[in-house]
Structure 1
Amino acid sequence: MSLELEHECPECGETRTFWKVASMEVHLGTKMKWDCPECDYGFVQIDGNVDSSAV
């Protein structure tokens, strides 16, 4: 699994390279926390299916 992810940052208003800052196994799958190095916006993904940035 990569330590970087290209993703739209709502705070910066453009696509940024997010860094994985945490990862752990939960009952739904692998939970990963990603942070934007430019503005510190962060979001969580669970197994790539659940994405808190979509809220």
Structure 2
Amino acid sequence: MAMELDRSCPSCGESKTFYRAASTTLHLGQKVKWHCPDCDYGFVKIDGIDTGASA
């Protein structure tokens, strides 16, 4: 799995490279936490489903 993900950060207001903060396997699938390096914004993806406000 990738360690970096490029996407728009709603807190910074621009495109950023998010870094994988943690991952684990659940009964729902792979859970991965992503965080912006410039602010405290983070989101979770579970089996490809994104919980972030901007996709």
- TM-score of the two chains, using structure 2 as the length reference: 0.89
Secondary structure class of the residue paired with 1:21 = strand
**Does the CA contact (< 8 Å) of 2:44 and 2:52 recur in 1?**
yes
Secondary structure class of the residue paired with 2:52 = helix
The residue type paired with residue 15 of structure 1 is S
CA offsets 1:18-44 (integer angstroms, 9 cap, x no match):
000000001110000000000120000
- 1:18 equivalent in structure 2: 18
- Note the aligned Cα RMSD (angstroms): 1.3
Find the aligned partners of 2:33 and 2:44 in 1 and give their Cα distance: 4
Equivalent pairs counted in the alignment come to 54
CA offsets 1:1-55 (integer angstroms, 9 cap, x no match):
110000110000111000000000011100000000001200000111x211038
User: Relative CO higher for 1 or 2, CA cutoff 8 Å, sep ≥ 6?
Assistant: 2
Unaligned runs of 5+ in 1: none
Q: Percent of aligned pairs with the same residue?
A: 57
- TM-score of the two chains, using structure 1 as the length reference: 0.89
